[in-house]
């Protein structure tokens, strides 16, 4: 009798445990999925950053008279940044094999190569020198190990904006044949005081140079008077790379007592651009490219500027 009573006792509590498990299992699963969802969301929201040699070089980041790439790479290591945007005029001379060796030693890679071919010329013959530079840049990019190149597209005071636009479009049409054949993505960005700066002008290039992609430079867009978020939304499907810098418009005093509107470059988060909106849109779109931290002022040294900028962006990502 005692044995039977004990068996019934265990059966009774066994049933209770099973029922409790059935009742609470959905809540446990929900919490598990919730935690997994949060982890997945945080991973999805993680942006990939890149240091920009231009940002460091403009503050005389040198050793023995040459750009100190190794010192810059150490900054990237400390910040957990794996990408580097190589801008051609940061180096003199530019040795792609040595650059790649230094980056690989620091666990980093080139995500874009930026150069400055003179393609703003009215005839094919006059653009030949620029096309030769494109050919050289393609070889450099391949040796650097990147899949992306960016051509800088400034204006020319001796021509109208429309003449410059037509020249650049013609030159880019010639250049993209070469970059496509090399398996590289050709990109351009909006440039302040350039005939190629607004979203409408960028989209015109996209239409007339099939296959070309865009770099989203929020600071340059803002400096030209266009809302960066509006620019991003208009061009989003063509954007494969980004430069983040900030700025603000202000009234500057003239010597005669009058004032004029002027623009100052600022660190991300210290100007007037609403980066939270831009980043939220990029996250929503599943942006997979890199973000260059481009700093064009001297309030902070490049290492401090990059640290502050990355912290600022990551704080936005936590919220979104």
What sign does the CA torsion over 185, 186, 190, 191 have?
positive
Q: Which two tokens stand for residue 56?
A: 């460091």
**Angle of the 96-105 helix axis to the 69-79 helix axis, nearest 10:** 30
Backbone dihedral region for residue 64 (phi beyond 0: left; psi -120 to 50: alpha; all else: beta) = left
Band (pLDDT 50/70/90 cuts) for residue 12 is: low
Q: Which two tokens stand for residue 202?
A: 């960028």
Q: How far apart are CA 48 and CA 57, in angstroms?
A: 22
Give residue-wise pLDDT tens across range 120-168.
999 999 999 999 999 999 999 999 999 999 999 999 999 999 999 999 9
% of the chain at pLDDT higher than 70: 86
The answer to whether 86 and 57 have CB atoms below 8 angstroms apart is no
DSSP single-letter state for residue 238: G
Tokens 């190569």 locate to 113
Give residue-wise pLDDT tens across range 49-68.
999 999 999 999 999 889 99
Q: How far apart are CA 67 and CA 61, in angstroms?
A: 6
Q: pTM to 2 decimals? A: 0.84
276 Cβ contact partners less than 8 Å away, ≥ 6 residues apart: 316, 319, 320
Give residue-wise pLDDT tens across range 80-118.
999 999 999 999 899 999 999 999 999 999 999 999 999
Q: How far is CA 179 from the centre of its chain?
A: 20
Residue 189, CA distances (Å) to 82, 89, 232 in order: 22, 17, 12
Look over the chain and give the mean of its residue pLDDT values, rounded to a whole number: 89
Res 239 pLDDT > 60: yes
Please, is 202 exposed, middle or buried when counting C-beta atoms within 10 Å of its C-beta (0-12, 13-18, 19+)?
Answer: buried
Residue 216's DSSP bridge partners are 242
The answer to whether 155 and 164 have CB atoms below 8 angstroms apart is yes
Give residue-wise pLDDT tens across range 274-312.
999 999 999 999 999 999 999 999 999 999 999 999 999
Q: How many CB atoms lie within 10 A of CB 295?
A: 29
Q: How far apart are CA 86 and CA 149, in angstroms?
A: 10
């Amino acid at each position: 009798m005692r044995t039977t009573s004990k068996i019934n006792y265990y059966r009774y509590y066994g049933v209770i445990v099973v029922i409790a498990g059935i009742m609470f299992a959905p809540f446990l699963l929900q919490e598990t999925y919730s935690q997994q969802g949060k982890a997945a969301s945080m991973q999805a929201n993680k942006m990939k950053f890149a240091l920009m040699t231009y940002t460091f070089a403009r503050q005389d980041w040198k050793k023995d008279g040459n750009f100190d790439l190794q010192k810059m790479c150490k900054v990237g290591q400390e910040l957990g940044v794996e990408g580097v945007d190589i801008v051609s005029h940061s180096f003199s001379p530019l040795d792609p094999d040595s650059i790649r060796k230094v980056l690989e030693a620091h666990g980093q890679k080139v995500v874009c190569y930026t150069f400055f071919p003179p393609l703003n010329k009215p005839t094919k013959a006059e653009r030949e020198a620029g096309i030769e530079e494109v050919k050289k840049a393609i070889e450099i990019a391949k040796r650097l190990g990147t899949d992306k190149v960016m051509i800088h597209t400034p204006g020319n005071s001796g021509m109208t904006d429309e003449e410059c636009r037509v020249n650049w479009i013609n030159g880019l049409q010639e250049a993209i044949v070469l970059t496509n054949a090399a398996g590289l993505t050709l990109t351009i960005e909006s440039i302040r005081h350039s005939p190629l700066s607004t979203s409408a002008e960028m989209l015109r290039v996209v239409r007339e140079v099939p296959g070309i992609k865009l770099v989203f430079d929020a600071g340059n867009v803002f400096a030209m008077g266009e809302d960066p978020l509006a620019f991003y939304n208009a061009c989003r499907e063509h954007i494969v790379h980004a430069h983040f810098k900030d700025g603000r418009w202000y009234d500057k005093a003239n010597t005669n007592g009058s004032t004029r509107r002027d623009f100052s470059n600022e660190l991300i988060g210290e100007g007037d651009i609403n980066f939270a909106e831009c980043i939220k849109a990029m996250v929503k779109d599943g942006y997979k490219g890199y973000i260059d931290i481009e700093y064009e002022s001297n309030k902070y040294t490049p290492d401090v500027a990059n640290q502050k900028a990355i912290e600022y962006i990551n704080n936005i990502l936590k919220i979104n």
